[in-house]
Structure 1
């Protein structure tokens, strides 16, 4: 047991609520009035940063139990800091030296473990806790698990919570579980911890915060919105200027929030002139432990600490009286359609901004300079999006399957994962052989999950080791795993970064990389005959290219043009190298990191390696295919045998005898692209189509619809025999549409087709005149007036339903009247026409009574007027 003075000696705000918290976890609700009934052994602690929830509470709980207390933190930097702080609080207990880690308090992060037989409190990352639960879900020897900073909603934290709830419900009801949050929005969290019963008790404490003045300090000129990982340099200039202002106007250390390590380095360079009077330190997850430790200790001089969001809630930076907030953060995003996952720069949320400003009021009244306006602040999102809503869920889905709950079915998750993201993750895992067709984990999937890296990288490690050697495979994967390729340097050339890491140019990055490679190597150990060294004849470029290609086969890319900087990836997305890239001109690339900004059709290559065609084939073997492609392209049929690597055409040759079904499909596609005009439409064919259209319009079914859309859709029915003989466009152009259309006639009604929609009508003169069905009204009969003398009414078609429309013509064939009421025309229209035309056409008959006159199509001889 820990001595009482280890707890009582810490003057932290959470100390006042320890009795209520311990009672809540023990199930004694009398000490937690107002918290409501709840299950034994689970509770939620709400406490702002700096109240001691991360350090004092675990020590207090260790006094209450005989087993170990495990504290899960979302970040490695927070794990180490929390362990050091707790070790300092028990200075002198059991003869330990103050600040010693590895005794009563220890920690475990990926690749580093400092615990001993006397360790009572162990701080781990949530990722380590998930791996530990997967290996042995009963957590033997552990009595309490604390999930710290649950409000940050990291994927591993959500998983750890779901797994812990499952363990408590099925295996370890005695295991105590405490979830802590810096925000008061805990209803869902408390409900989950309550299980089937009432919500778990919520215990809260306020920090002894001092007042923090808010200074709105927007940039004086326009700032371009962040795009991908790019931040407008003018914003960084403004942040540097604001730091200078804060130094002049305030006292105490200055904590500056920036989105990433690149921006931290850029701002550090811009404020180098202040180093004569202040110390400039940096704090981010890619640093060495020593550099992180330095930022978390007060110094002899005033300090400027340039930090990422790691300092937002998981850590306390002592001495801070001033915060300068750039207002940006990094968040994962996944383009599931293109398989591109990356970090992007986003505006900070209002809740995060509040957490950041609170850092200035931990020890004394402070001030925050926000590099945006009050109006902009009101438009910020209230909370950051949880990772489960935006991130790549491949590893998440594999963990669920290994746990025995594919897709999360039956588990209590804080948020349901997006269906589309889970479908994409499942497809990726099935392609890796990690899941079977039912979604259950395979033996290979368990091996991949045991690596402790993203499933794609684990696959590349396992499959790449035998080909290139375990050490090189582990080194390449170590560059890509964890915090990403930052240790490789600013270049987009992965191999150049690999060489820098080997040379130790950046000592801290190289040490971190070597540790990760050492951890990964056992999983890459190849099975090879004794004395044989796998991959010994493979160059570093090809070794790296193979490993990257195995991890991201859809990102294998070939140049669109020799010597160019634009590429086509196997997944079908275009990719571009940045200007001046050393990789430009390479025929093949294996792209490790790429992102596609909003509104862009192509991706920007961030990290890649050159390789040759043979290595690309080896890495992308699952994407290789040889298919006969018969398609309509460029206005004609193109038949070829194509070898592809995904969307990339490797080789092609003409296909002399294409498959008949593929050929018919291509001809049909061509017909749809080119339209019906590609067929041969004679006058008779056009007239037939117009008559059929008339019947369909007037009589309806079963008379066929012969509109363009309908004919194209039914083309196999009426063009079938002609299509079976067609091989190219010229064959289509020879098809007479008329006989083909007759295949659509609805038998037996088709026998009356010429009666219902006659092609011609006999007029009184004896002429058989063609009817024009091209309009949307009745068919038009264009005939000279003299040929219809004696007619008292016009004929009708479609079983007498539609009268013919007469277009009466002059002797010269020009229309002089339109009517469907011939009797009316003879009475009133004809006298006017007769008076107007008889002088112009004297050799033509113009009787006084046309209804009694003989019709004629002849003209009187010259000199013999009518």
Structure 2
């Protein structure tokens, strides 16, 4: 029996006529409706009643199941009648089904198999504000389908809070239909920790914050009526807070993507006793949880992050955006006035990001790149997307696809790539499933890949083979989900025509070897070799560390399944791995196998050896007695770049020549060579030949006379080189007859000479047209005055110097008129004699 009373209470019913008109006129529309208005449940039923077959795409499995069950309840039916659902590993539909709720991932797979989406008249993309990568991809593909194959296919983007104008533009200037909701007031209570807590870092959340959240939940139970919905970033945090809520006068339930369907159903069905529901962001939207009047928000969320350089992908804990905070708070006011306790300050709130980052901007794009390649647009430049994929992330994704044979040199999907795209797992796992099935059997490959597709609970340990055995034995929720996924993967293999592998009963590999091989096939860059005391080196070049109590510490090789690298850590933390041998490592990462002569500069000298390596891991090393001369030359140049020109033999004369050349380059321009470190290193092949070609090691560089080599840089071709001593003389003869060395090391050439030797010299000496800076020295050789204008000094400065020094040095001449006096380098007595 249709529950008309419940339908009449849904505010969105007032907007359905406008929505139907918009879809009929334009074929696309954007529906903005607040939480609790019925957009997810009533709109699809109205579209179906008008004669359409409707596909509703939800971002999460829990939301898809809940939406289907709610619609079936409104119709007075069970799921599988006019309303059904399909999520990964579960399909409940029937012949009469006209509304099918699916996850965006399922719809993406369906589009790859059937681009026309036969049998669907309307596709509703629900909760599109969350900007999940699969949802953005589905929207782009559906718009392409409308433009090229099925212009009659109608598209509806629906959300509680979204960039309506942006989606309207994306859908071809689609009309925006807005539905007003019944807004119950939600009081905000700011409840920050009393003492500062450490900010989230990677997957780590300060235990002090979780203790505070549990305290706030207890406070909320005491101060307000109704059920409590508490938002936490992940399953681990939910478990820790649940442990701190023992003894509260309420039923404590845990809701997340891994929770059993029965638990999810119980939460959504409501209850007779008071409840505390600890949930991840799956409860932000799509679902109305009966009885909730209080929200406790930790202020944290999880987002994907990818270290493309190291091949590490993981979730990271971040501060939730302002938009997420509004969504979460709104859960308290779905049915009646409510309260939200926010575990941060009001001042912090205004500094939060306005919206969460679109997943396409931060996620690993390998799967996206494969989907677009299979769609026929490898670069994704022809797709309608709200945000373009970052070029670096796309390049990294295509590199992975090329390495596993999913795309050709032009980026087009191969037959193998098309098969991978239809397995419903990440391309890396698809490679492990296909190749692993051929080597160890379909069943065992599927079992290991199922472990890799959803990380086992931490209590299973860090040994993947041990986790495999625990999943086989276990009667826990993870084990149940694992078995469902194993069956799905086996079925998928048959569906894509997998090559037959050995019988699972006769496979010669034990569990440890199978776990290692399949994991290595999935993550060849994470194959790692032991280098002592729990430390490893992955073939990607990333270091790794095992926990002190790990049973894997003595394994010579590991295939790393899960690792993360905190921003401040030198090495990645190995959280899940499987034992491997060298043969398995070579097989899985064969595209990284290389060998040959390696000559380079290491630890201050030339090292020449023949090396076989697997990526960054050296497998074998032998010294080379007669390395290639060209490689040695490059190694010596590398040494000069790294350790500097001081490796050469520099005499004082050589340094002086370099300074003279630097002066001429600065004063006369590029006709004279630049001799800075960078310029000399760039031209090393010119001025260090033939010495460089004859050298074989560091000691040979130390015998290279830098001064002689520098002569090769002089401008011999134009004849300017012959004027070196004229333009920048090494010494200048002064009136006393002495030849004084010029110092070219500063900005201006310096002539340091005893004052008495310059008597009678009226004009300041010049080099290359530049007056030297004269340092006038006392008889003891100490600076008495500095001038670039001798005539002015004799007139104005000499008298003060004479007055100060004549008494101190009475044996030296101090004439009243130095301009007419006889220059000398001797004392008065020598002059008289």
TM-score between both structures, scaled by the size of structure 2: 0.90
The alpha-carbon deviation at position 814 of structure 1 amounts to 8.2
CA contact (8 A) 2:2 2:75 kept: no
Q: Aligned equivalents of 1:781 and 1:244: distance in 2?
A: 84
Q: 1:19 aligns with which of 17, 20, 23?
A: 17
1:251 is matched with 225
Q: How does 1:846-861 map to 2 (within 5 A)?
A: none
CA contact (8 A) 1:784 1:809 kept: yes
Q: 1:288 aligns with which of 260, 279, 299?
A: 260
Q: Aligned equivalents of 2:818 and 2:6: distance in 1?
A: 128
* Distance change in 2, residues 1:755/1:115 (3 Å): same
Q: Aligned equivalents of 2:7 and 2:806: distance in 1?
A: 125
The alpha-carbon deviation at position 673 of structure 1 amounts to 2.9
CA contact (8 A) 2:214 2:244 kept: yes
Cα deviation 1:165-216 (Å, max 9, x = unaligned): 11112211212222211115311112222x2xxx222222233343333332
2:44 is matched with 58
Q: Does 1:84 align with 2:69?
A: yes
Q: Aligned equivalents of 1:655 and 1:175: distance in 2?
A: 68
Q: 1:491 aligns with which of 461, 466, 469?
A: 461
The alpha-carbon deviation at position 105 of structure 1 amounts to 1.4
* Distance change in 2, residues 1:858/1:283 (3 Å): closer
Q: Is the radius of gyration larger for structure 1 or structure 2? A: 1
Q: 1:166 aligns with which of 132, 139, 144?
A: 144
Deviates more, 1:53-62 or 1:816-825: 816-825
The alpha-carbon deviation at position 778 of structure 1 amounts to 4.4
Q: Aligned equivalents of 1:318 and 1:26: distance in 2?
A: 35
Q: Does 1:707 align with 2:670?
A: no
Cα deviation 1:210-243 (Å, max 9, x = unaligned): 3333332223333222222222222222222222
* Distance change in 2, residues 1:783/1:692 (3 Å): farther
- Gaps spanning 5+ residues in structure 1: where? 28-38, 92-97
Please state whether the residue corresponding to 2:304 is helix, strand or coil.
strand
Q: How does 1:443-454 map to 2 (within 5 A)?
A: 443-454=415-426
Q: 1:381 aligns with which of 339, 343, 353?
A: 353
The alpha-carbon deviation at position 364 of structure 1 amounts to 2.8
1:34 is matched with none
1:33 is matched with none
Please state whether the residue corresponding to 1:416 is helix, strand or coil.
coil
Please state whether the residue corresponding to 1:640 is helix, strand or coil.
strand
Q: Does 1:741 align with 2:719?
A: no
Q: 1:124 aligns with which of 80, 92, 102?
A: 102
CA contact (8 A) 1:108 1:128 kept: yes
Q: How does 1:597-746 map to 2 (within 5 A)?
A: 597-746=566-715
Q: Aligned equivalents of 2:620 and 2:413: distance in 1?
A: 37
The alpha-carbon deviation at position 316 of structure 1 amounts to 1.6
Please state whether the residue corresponding to 2:674 is helix, strand or coil.
coil
Q: Aligned equivalents of 1:250 and 1:693: distance in 2?
A: 81
1:237 is matched with 211
Q: Aligned equivalents of 2:571 and 2:251: distance in 1?
A: 43
The alpha-carbon deviation at position 74 of structure 1 amounts to 0.8
Q: Aligned equivalents of 1:81 and 1:817: distance in 2?
A: 93
Deviates more, 1:726-735 or 1:796-805: 796-805
The alpha-carbon deviation at position 475 of structure 1 amounts to 1.0
Q: Aligned equivalents of 1:336 and 1:543: distance in 2?
A: 27
* Distance change in 2, residues 1:286/1:687 (3 Å): closer
Please state whether the residue corresponding to 1:716 is helix, strand or coil.
helix
* Distance change in 2, residues 1:722/1:114 (3 Å): same
Q: Aligned equivalents of 1:168 and 1:105: distance in 2?
A: 25
Q: Does 1:463 align with 2:435?
A: yes
Q: How does 1:234-383 map to 2 (within 5 A)?
A: 234-274=208-248, 277-383=249-355
2:524 is matched with 553
Q: Aligned equivalents of 1:374 and 1:784: distance in 2?
A: 75
Q: 1:148 aligns with which of 122, 126, 130?
A: 126
Let me know the Cα RMSD of the aligned residues.
3.6
Q: Does 1:227 align with 2:201?
A: yes
The alpha-carbon deviation at position 392 of structure 1 amounts to 1.3
* Distance change in 2, residues 1:247/1:723 (3 Å): same
Q: Aligned equivalents of 1:518 and 1:328: distance in 2?
A: 35
The alpha-carbon deviation at position 644 of structure 1 amounts to 2.2
Cα deviation 1:103-155 (Å, max 9, x = unaligned): 22111111221212221111111111111111111112211111111111111
Please state whether the residue corresponding to 1:190 is helix, strand or coil.
helix
Cα deviation 1:515-547 (Å, max 9, x = unaligned): 211221256579778976698222222221222
1:30 is matched with none
Q: Aligned equivalents of 1:249 and 1:258: distance in 2?
A: 21
Q: How does 1:388-407 map to 2 (within 5 A)?
A: 388-407=360-379
Q: Aligned equivalents of 1:75 and 1:239: distance in 2?
A: 26
Q: Aligned equivalents of 1:185 and 1:631: distance in 2?
A: 55
The alpha-carbon deviation at position 306 of structure 1 amounts to 2.0
* Distance change in 2, residues 1:854/1:551 (3 Å): closer
* Distance change in 2, residues 1:353/1:855 (3 Å): closer
Please state whether the residue corresponding to 2:406 is helix, strand or coil.
coil
- Gaps spanning 5+ residues in structure 2: where? none
Q: Aligned equivalents of 2:335 and 2:583: distance in 1?
A: 62
2:82 is matched with 104
* Distance change in 2, residues 1:7/1:826 (3 Å): closer
Cα deviation 1:402-432 (Å, max 9, x = unaligned): 1112222122112222232222222222222
Q: Aligned equivalents of 2:283 and 2:747: distance in 1?
A: 76
Q: Aligned equivalents of 1:85 and 1:804: distance in 2?
A: 93
Q: Aligned equivalents of 2:354 and 2:323: distance in 1?
A: 6
Q: 1:500 aligns with which of 445, 449, 470?
A: 470
Q: How does 1:748-827 map to 2 (within 5 A)?
A: 748-759=719-730, 773-774=744-745, 776-778=747-749, 780=751, 798=767
The alpha-carbon deviation at position 558 of structure 1 amounts to 2.5
Q: Aligned equivalents of 2:820 and 2:370: distance in 1?
A: 93
Q: Aligned equivalents of 1:808 and 1:373: distance in 2?
A: 71
Please state whether the residue corresponding to 1:296 is helix, strand or coil.
helix
Cα deviation 1:237-278 (Å, max 9, x = unaligned): 22222222333333332222222222222222222213xx53
TM-score between both structures, scaled by the size of structure 1: 0.87
Cα deviation 1:369-408 (Å, max 9, x = unaligned): 2223333333332222221122111111211121112222
Q: 2:54 aligns with which of 66, 69, 78?
A: 69
Aligned residues: 826
Q: Aligned equivalents of 1:353 and 1:764: distance in 2?
A: 87
CA contact (8 A) 2:750 2:773 kept: yes
Please state whether the residue corresponding to 2:558 is helix, strand or coil.
strand
* Distance change in 2, residues 1:511/1:823 (3 Å): closer
Q: Aligned equivalents of 1:656 and 1:174: distance in 2?
A: 74
Deviates more, 1:162-171 or 1:536-545: 536-545
CA contact (8 A) 2:460 2:470 kept: no
CA contact (8 A) 2:806 2:814 kept: no
CA contact (8 A) 1:556 1:616 kept: yes
* Distance change in 2, residues 1:808/1:603 (3 Å): closer
* Distance change in 2, residues 1:124/1:847 (3 Å): closer
Q: Aligned equivalents of 1:245 and 1:832: distance in 2?
A: 90
Q: Aligned equivalents of 1:59 and 1:264: distance in 2?
A: 35
The alpha-carbon deviation at position 514 of structure 1 amounts to 1.3
The alpha-carbon deviation at position 809 of structure 1 amounts to 8.4
